[in-house]
C-alpha cells in the first residue's frame, strides 16, 4: 500500500510539534515508597517534523505508548520512551506530556482518621538528538487560605477560601527530581492550613483555628513557595501560580512567578 505520509512536501515549513493528543491510557506511576500507583493518564505525544516530510506516522505513537503503560513510570522511563520516539519516527526532537490524578494519604490532625487526597499531576519530557532529557514535574496543590485584612478589620471571624497552587519544577541534568509527595507537602505548608478529605468535629475545629492563626494573602503564599523552591538542591527552573477562590467575591485572587536558578 502507498505511504502518503512519507511523500515530499514542497511548502518549506518544518512543524515543531506533530503527533497525538488526549490519548487516555492506564499507567503506573512510581511512588516515593518504592512501589507504584495505578492512574488514568491523559497523554500528548509529539515529534518535530522536517519541512520535506508531508506527515508523521501517527500509529507509531500508540505503538510506543502501549508497552510503557504496563511498566512503573518516572523520569528514566520517560527518557527511554522519548529515545524510542526519536528512533522509530526518525525525528530530531520529541516531547511527551502525561497528566494524571495522583492520590496521597492524609491523616486528620486530631482524630487521626485516614483518607486520600487527589492531586492533578503531570510529567513533561523533551528531548533532542544528542542532548539530555529535559524533565518537568507539575503538581497542583490545594489548601486553605485566610485573608489577613479580613481578620484585622473584623470584630470576629475572617473570610477564608480554598486555594490552589500550580507548581512546575525542573532540575539540572544529572540531579534527581523531587518526589510528588515531597513537592506537594512543601507547597501545602505555605498555605494557611492544609485540606483533608475526611474530618471529624475536633479536626474541623483544629483546621479552622490553624487557618485563623496563619493568615496569608495570595502574594504571601506565592513568595513563601518561591523561597522554598529556591532552596531545593539541584533545581534549574520553576514556575508557580497561586489562585484563591474567593468566598466574598465573584472573582479569584491570583499571583504567578517563574525563574531560572543558576547551578
Contacts of 33-36 spanning 24+ positions with Cβ under 8 A:
35/72, 36/72, 36/73
| The pLDDT of residue 1 is above 70 | no
Report percent pLDDT > 70 for the chain. Answer: 97
pLDDT of residue 85: 96
pLDDT of residue 6: 63
164-221 pLDDT per residue, tens: 999 999 999 888 899 999 999 999 999 999 999 999 999 999 999 999 999 999 999 9
* CB-facing half-sphere around the CA of 207: CA atoms within 13 A: 25
Q: 57 pLDDT band (50/70/90 cuts)? A: confident
Give the span between the Cα atoms of 104 and 106, in whole angstroms.
Answer: 6
Cβ neighbors of 1 (< 8 A, separation 6 or more) are none
Grid cell 491523559 is found at: 42
Cite the DSSP H helix spans in the chain.
58-68, 75-88, 148-153, 180-188, 201-213, 218-230
pLDDT of residue 176: 87
Q: 263 pLDDT band (50/70/90 cuts)? A: confident
Sign of the C-alpha dihedral computed for residues 197, 202, 206 and 209 taken in this order:
positive
Cβ neighbors of 22 (< 8 A, separation 6 or more) are 42, 43, 44
pTM for the full model? 0.91
Q: Which residues pair with 145 in a beta bridge?
A: 161
| The pLDDT of residue 13 is above 70 | yes
Q: 2 pLDDT band (50/70/90 cuts)? A: low
37-50 pLDDT per residue, tens: 999 999 999 999 98
Q: Which domains can be identified in the chain, with CATH numbers?
A: 1-129 (3.10.270.10), 132-263 (3.10.270.10)
Grid cell 527518557 is found at: 79
Average pLDDT of the segment spanning 160-167: 96
What Å distances lie between residue 231 and 22, 88, 120, 186, 262, CA to CA?
35, 40, 24, 11, 12
pLDDT of residue 199: 97
pLDDT of residue 121: 98
Amino acid at each position: 500500500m502507498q505511504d502518503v505520509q512519507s511523500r515530499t512536501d514542497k511548502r518549506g515549513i518544518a512543524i515543531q510539534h506533530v503527533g497525538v493528543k488526549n490519548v487516555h491510557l492506564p499507567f503506573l506511576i512510581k511512588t516515593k515508597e518504592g512501589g507504584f500507583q495505578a492512574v488514568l493518564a491523559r497523554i500528548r505525544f509529539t515529534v518535530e517534523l522536517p519541512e520535506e516530510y508531508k506527515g508523521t506516522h501517527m500509529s507509531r505513537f500508540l505503538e510506543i505508548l502501549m508497552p510503557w503503560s504496563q511498566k512503573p513510570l518516572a523520569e528514566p522511563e520517560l527518557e527511554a520512551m522519548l529515545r524510542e520516539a526519536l528512533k522509530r519516527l526518525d525525528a530530531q526532537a520529541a516531547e511527551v506530556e502525561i497528566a494524571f490524578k495522583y492520590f496521597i494519604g492524609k491523616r486528620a490532625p486530631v482524630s487521626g482518621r485516614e483518607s486520600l487526597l487527589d492531586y492533578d499531576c503531570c510529567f513533561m519530557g523533551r528531548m533532542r538528538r544528542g542532548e539530555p532529557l529535559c524533565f518537568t514535574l507539575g503538581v497542583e496543590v490545594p489548601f486553605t487560605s485566610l485573608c489577613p485584612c479580613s481578620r484585622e478589620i473584623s470584630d470576629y471571624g475572617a473570610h477564608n477560601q480554598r486555594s490552589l497552587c500550580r507548581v512546575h519544577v525542573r532540575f539540572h541534568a544529572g540531579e534527581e527530581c523531587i518526589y510528588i509527595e515531597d513537592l506537594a507537602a512543601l507547597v501545602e505548608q505555605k498555605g494557611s492550613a492544609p485540606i483533608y478529605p475526611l474530618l471529624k468535629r475536633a479536626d474541623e475545629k483544629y483546621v479552622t483555628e490553624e487557618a485563623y492563626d496563619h493568615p496569608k494573602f495570595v502574594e504571601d503564599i506565592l513568595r513563601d513557595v518561591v523561597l522554598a523552591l529556591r532552596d531545593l538542591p539541584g533545581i534549574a527552573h520553576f514556575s508557580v501560580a497561586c489562585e484563591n477562590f474567593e468566598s466574598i467575591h465573584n472573582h479569584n485572587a491570583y499571583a504567578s512567578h517563574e525563574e531560572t536558578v543558576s547551578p
